[in-house]
Structure 1
């Protein structure tokens, strides 16, 4: 049986991951967008015919927007989860992690699948599923 402190620690780990990825996306938006969503120079170099005329400037704009949005989303999610953890409100923390991980998993998973293929998308889906379950466990009171 998994103890309450284990679920709480797992939830803290998920929140820390979101803080880390948000910080990386903030500090290096082009690298984050390029590696995860295949936006930017490597995508253009790998498949130049996939992008229409003037693709380089559109891709550069997309990288900036995608990086900023991922950073804001992940840092806000992490801040909310960490604040709830600090306050000892583990059910609310679980709700935040469950809903965010499920929605992010679906939305990011579709984009990752379209741009990076089924292998990376499958790995992302598995990871987001585990995080969603951690959120579910906290939200449903497995920690009581």
Structure 2
């Protein structure tokens, strides 16, 4: 099954919303190889890892209070075993009632791709799943750190 998991963590200690995307290296290599037109091996190609991180960043959006992308800071990426991780963050907003998300990474390559977002640090953990049929989805904010 083609899946990706993103953790959106409101971290009161750091004062940031930490966004951690996790993809299978195999899926990322296959998709990136199709995009660039040649075989890619992420384990030993830092440039390809950065290119995949840019791709993920372009296919994930978070809106604060409305379905409009907010600016996210790119932190980096790393390969860890069978996964490639892409990291983003932003300062925790002062006032927030809704979080909007759009997440269509790899869905242009595989119609069956499911992208899941897990929101943590604002009360109970909540999740959203994105298939090719989804655009923006919203989560109401219960409490802030």
For the aligned pair, the TM-score class normalised by the smaller chain equals 0.3 to 0.5
Greater Rg over alpha carbons, structure: 1
State TM-score, norm by structure 2: 0.36
- Structure in which a larger fraction of residues adopt strand: 2
State TM-score, norm by structure 1: 0.36
The higher-RCO structure (CA 8 Å, 6+ apart) is: 1
- Structure in which a larger fraction of residues adopt helix: 1
